[in-house]
Amino acid sequence: MRRFPAWILVVGLALMALGCSKSAPVTRPSLLQGPVLKLPVPGFETGSDYVVLNWSAATSADFLSYEIHILPDSTTRPGPTTLKAIVTDRNLTRFSVAGLIRDTDYIFVVRTVIKSGEVAASNIVLARTVSAETPPPACVTLLNPLNVVRNGMTLKWTSNFERNFLSYRLYIGDSANFDPFTAGTLIAATFRSQDTTLATQSLAPSRIYYFKVLVYNFANKYCASNEVFDTTSSDQDTIPPVAGQFYPITKKDVTGTSIRIRWHRNHDNDFAEYDIHMGTRDGFQDSASNQIDQILAQDDTTATVEGLKPASTYYFKIFVKDRSGLRSKALVNFAGTTQPPVDPSLIFGSFGTAIGKYNSPSGVVVDSKGRVFVSNTANGRIDVVADPISTPPDTSVVKSYGQGFDALGIGRPGALAIDSADNLFVCDPGSQSVLKISATGELLFRIGVFGSEKGQFSNPAAVALDDSGNIWVADRDNNRVQKFTPVGSFVLQVTRAEQGSLIGPSGLAFDPLSKKIFVLDQGNGRIVGFKAADGSATPGQIGKGTASEAPGYMSNATALTTDGAGRLLVCDTGNNRVQVFTTTGGNDPIFVLKTTTGLGEPENLEVVKFHLLRPRGFAISGQHGVLLDSGNHRMMICDLTLSAAAPSKARRHGFAAGAPRR
């Protein structure tokens, strides 16, 4: 094997020749792209006898397999003699190549193969195994079985958080001190270090079972846990468990989208689980489709059901099951009602010029202390509200920037952004510039003057920051978006999405999940995405245009934000509403906050009606949103979960209902 330098080098070449074997060349089609092979992390994804490869997933509809090749040198084409492994699962894009020689350089290529036999190769990656031998992983401790019933029991063990963790493998045996490989049976494997609980099933009643957990690392080395055992219950139990009682639901137990329920603990010795069902009418029939939770811990007598609709009544039933599968009578006719979506006590502000009054506010952000910064646009200033999200709210104005208050030179402040150090970024169409103001109120720098050249603006309408601190500005009347470095130097501009040019971009939002800058393309009534790294357009668009008032259409939309969880919130100003879309695409919103019923609302669209007039700003702070009702010269504080679609099943503690809680 040819030797290379000790450091690891990625050669970014995906030669077309690498997509063919020497003996039988295949013409690579223009639409088939090879995967992107990532650089293994030294000491983490490289060991003494293994290298972990990661690559991008194939997109071809007729995908057949991935081929993993080890090349003797960078000029050799992949072929039968270099093939190391074949992966047939399209979604399996992480693979540990084991059995390598320590302290040796290797050249890797991954090829995508489609059903026609055509192939496309990745870039070349060079990686070196380490000189020190990879030790076995640390063992875990298997705890005594829980919730033992006639046909199963629950097993739990401690976690292994080593960087080269690969999997847990759970074995079952019929006798004490069994050898997992010769006298045991593999019953489960999990590849996430946090998955340390398993409910076994299909066991025989009145029988002793023995268990061990083996931890594996990328070097295919393992460590066996201690051994535990228990006996499943018999089939003789004929007495059903005793049902408990619910505790009354109080005001503290409900929010706009959740209800907390509590019940008395069951004290039976053969307890197995609590089953919770939910319906929307009194006397509903319990079934598998309306079971929202299964709790296996006898002492766990509280559940918070999330993802509910505001101002709605829900009914609950709870059954107790024992280890023999017998079920108690249900606790019935137990109801709770969620709160209205907007609490009138959290609406404040009115028209005027004095401190505490607002005139067409159009930009809002929240800093790390909970203070809300509001562009009081027509009054020519930025007001800082103490803490309106707290309980009780403090809506006093503690500071103001702009005309008559400082020498910052703010003319007509609009959209705002804020960074992790509480530095404030202000779009000021009045001075055709963007300002950066420190947390203590000092002007750090100003970007732009009026014009159409690079770094100049004509009506800057929005500002956003990506995860590298770069500054993005929607240069509305120049029909473009400009990117600047964290210190204000021009980097690039984008003027065209995948499906046509930008017309009057008016909103920006950086999505940390997809690493995209989303642009509110006002003139086209849509949202389009660009890669934050290089400004390249990404496929697709969100929104249907400007031709209608129906959901999905936009009229003079002026502000865009993201909740960081895959949702985009649009102030659809001309239609007097806020629409919520997913960042993954689609032209239909999942939620609308508005004044009237409007046109063409889909049956499954969640609509909350409240009087809005030309909304122009929305900021996120924890579980709350701050909405600027610009036409009414006021602010609203509302539950952030208003931006979530009504789920088909309620969620509990942030996890999908239906999965047992242990």
**Distances from the Cα of 611 to the Cαs of 12, 344, 559, 630, 637, in angstroms?**
56, 11, 18, 12, 14
Cβ(308)–Cβ(649) below 8 Å: no
Q: How confident is the model at residue 25 (pLDDT cuts 50, 70, 90)?
A: very low
Q: Residue 452: pLDDT band by 50, 70, 90 thresholds?
A: very high
pLDDT tens-place string over residues 276-322? 999 888 888 889 899 999 999 988 999 999 888 776 788 899 999 88
Could you check whether the bond before residue 460 is cis, i.e. omega within 30 degrees of 0?
no
Q: What is the mean pLDDT of residues 555-577?
A: 91
Assess whether pLDDT exceeds 60 at residue 540.
Answer: yes
pLDDT at 645: 34
- For residue 642, pLDDT over 80 is answered with no
Split at pLDDT 50, 70, 90, the class of 31 is low
pTM of the model: 0.50
Q: What confidence score (pLDDT) does residue 134 get?
A: 83
Lowest-pLDDT choice from 433-437, 540-544, 561-565: 561-565
Question: Within 13 A of 472's CA, how many CA atoms are on the CB side?
Answer: 28
Least confident of 392-396, 503-507, 516-520: 392-396
| 278-287, 373-382, 412-421, 641-650: segment of lowest average pLDDT | 641-650
pLDDT at 657: 29
Q: Which residues pair with 621 in a beta bridge?
A: 624
Other C-beta atoms within 10 Å of 520: how many?
A: 31
CA angle 111-112-116, nearest 5°? 125
- Write the CB contacts of 25 (distance below 8 Å, at least 6 apart in sequence): none
Average pLDDT, the chain: 84
What confidence score (pLDDT) does residue 409 get?
A: 83
More confident residue, 429 or 641: 429
Q: How far apart are CA 173 and CA 334, in angstroms?
A: 45
Residue 606 pLDDT grade (very low, low, confident, very high; cuts 50, 70, 90):
very low
Grade residue 549 by pLDDT with cuts at 50, 70 and 90: confident
State the pLDDT at residue 5: 43
Q: How crowded is the C-beta side of 581, counted as CA atoms within 13 Å?
A: 27
DSSP code, position 235: S
The pLDDT assigned to 610 comes to 58
Express as a percent the part of the chain with pLDDT over 70: 86
Residue type, 122: S
* Distance between CA atoms of residues 329 and 379, nearest Å: 65
The pLDDT, as a whole number, for residue 655 is 26
Q: What residue type is assigned to position 277 of the chain?
A: H
Question: What values do phi and psi take at 346, rounded to 5?
Answer: -105, 30
**Over residues 584-598, mean pLDDT:** 69
Closest CA to 586 of 571, 602, 609: 602
DSSP code per residue over 503-572: -SEEEEEEETTTTEEEEEEGGGTEEEEEETTT--B-S--B--BSS-SSTTB-SS--EEEE-SSSEEEEEE
464: pLDDT strictly greater than 90: yes
**Is the confidence at residue 604, as pLDDT, over 50?**
no
Give the integer Cα–Cα distance in Å for 594 and 615: 10
Q: Name the CA radius of gyration of the chain, rounded.
A: 30
Q: CA dist 261 to 176, 251, 646, 656, Å? A: 43, 12, 20, 17
Most confident stretch, 243-247, 324-328, 383-387, 483-487: 483-487
pLDDT of residue 646: 33
What local confidence, expressed as pLDDT, does residue 87 receive?
A: 94
Position 2 pLDDT exceeds 70: no
pLDDT band of residue 248 (cuts 50, 70, 90) is confident
pLDDT the model gives residue 65: 95
Reported confidence tier of residue 181, pLDDT bands at 50, 70, 90 = very high
Mean pLDDT of 260-279: 87
pLDDT of residue 306: 86
186 is written with which tokens? 């593999």
Residue 34 CB partners (closer than 8 Å, separation 6+): 14, 19, 110, 111, 112, 120, 121, 122, 123
Residue 571 amino acid letter: C
